[in-house]
Amino acid sequence: MAQNKFRLIKEDEETCARLGQLRTAHGVVNTPIFMPVGTRATVKTCSPRTLIEMGTEIILGNTYHLYLRPGHQIIQRAGGLHKFMGWKKPILTDSGGFQVFSLGERRKITEKGVEFQSGIDGSKHMISPERAIEIQNALGADVIMTFDECPAHTTDREYIEKSMHMTLRWAKRCKETHKNANQLLFGIIQGGFFHDLRRESAEKTVEMGFPGYAIGGLSVGEEKELMYQTVAYTAPLLPKEKPRYLMGVGTPQDLVYSVSCGIDMFDCVMPTRNARNGSLFTSTGTVKIRNAKYRSDFTPLDPNCNCYTCQNFTSAYLRHLDSENEMLGHHLKTVHNLHFYISLMRGIRQSIKIGTFSKLKNDIPMLFQTGQNRSVADSA
């Protein structure tokens, strides 16, 4: 197994927030970090150059989708995912577990793995723990994930416990299969919202000895408070000297709260998906650009933002592009939202460094509740 690649630089004095660095085969990632989601080998509407310009350090790819199309063999022949998509910085790939389990009646779970029908052409496939590692080895991501089951939050305790134990067995099979020292294989903690199951999952996964650990099974429709309680309980169970990744979360408030619990890495489709649907994060709160009041608003979307969109275009123009469903509009909105997230994480890191994180933690929820005119940079 690869040596510890994570360096803990500083811990906040008032919370569990941490400043760190993760060394990968394609560069260093400063944590806490947000990873834009590039599901199909592309962050929607954004070129690699655009992502680099806004300060993106690492992106996420999706094993399930890339396995189905174009196929991991094609990507391997192209020289790996980095060369295939023209991205020279680190990449994390998930194992595809969440996607295959979200297929409902089109999948069957067994100890061997998951049999499922493709959402593209209905063809039948099987992804086992060994297969998930084989695919991710071929993709060549810097950080890869064990294969896990992500049960629904409404599932009863008996099933959650059974599922958690199977995820543990699958994690062991993943570790035994993984041989590429250039790729960091992270274990995933499951257990639903039962604290004793989360503890058992954490203890037994940590015993296997992974370079990093992820908290899975959250942001699947549960109440916000329940998610927060689970994050706050689970994060301290993970080794201090290893990176902690919260999968699929979330809003700016979610990120700030989870950082305060000791989480280092995040991914979520929210900034890109919300952008395409006209919901934009700003230093004065959330803007619904489709509202009629923006039709003749000739000011920047966010006066406190230095992204390309805000420096060159008005809210009226963004609303016009959105109304016409123009591709440029999707691009400009996505650029802004991702820039907001990247800048937020940069501000969080700076606040931990200089000892003002608690102030930022208090300001962010108030910002989105009241729409106060305050910049994230000022909060840092």
* pLDDT tens digits along 6-15: 999 999 999 9
Return the closest-CA partner of residue 318 out of 346, 339, 298. 298
pLDDT of residue 373: 32
Contact yes or no for 274/268 (Cβ under 8 A): no
pLDDT of residue 374: 28
Please give the backbone phi and psi of residue 327, each rounded to the nearest 5 degrees, phi first. Answer: -60, -35
Q: Is 12 a catalytic residue?
A: no
Contacts of 139 (CB under 8 A, 6+ apart): 61, 63, 66, 72, 75, 76, 80, 81, 93
Supply the pTM of this predicted model.
0.95
Least confident of 105-109, 222-226, 264-268, 334-338: 105-109
Q: Is 363 a catalytic residue?
A: no
pLDDT tens sequence across 65-91: 999 999 999 999 999 999 999 999 999
12, 148, 264, 267: which one is catalytic?
267
94, 254, 264, 302: which one is catalytic?
94
pLDDT of residue 371: 37
CATH 3.20.20.105, the chain: domain bounds: 6-267
pLDDT band at 378 (very low <50, low <70, confident <90, very high): very low
The predicted model gives 318-332 an average pLDDT of: 98
CATH placement of domain 6-267: 3.20.20.105
pLDDT of residue 96: 83
Q: Residue 53's CB: how many other CB atoms inside 10 A?
A: 14
pLDDT of residue 380: 29
Residue 269: its H or E element:
none
Residue 244 β-bridge partners: 213
pLDDT at 379 over 50: no
pLDDT at 377 over 60: no
pLDDT-above-70 percentage for the chain: 94
Contacts 24+ apart (CB under 8 A), 311-320: 315/287, 315/289, 318/289, 318/294, 319/289, 319/290, 319/294, 319/295
pLDDT band at 38 (very low <50, low <70, confident <90, very high): very high
d(CA 321, CA 340): 20
What value does the mean pLDDT of the chain take? 93
Q: Residue 120's CB: how many other CB atoms inside 10 A?
A: 9
pLDDT at 125 over 90: yes
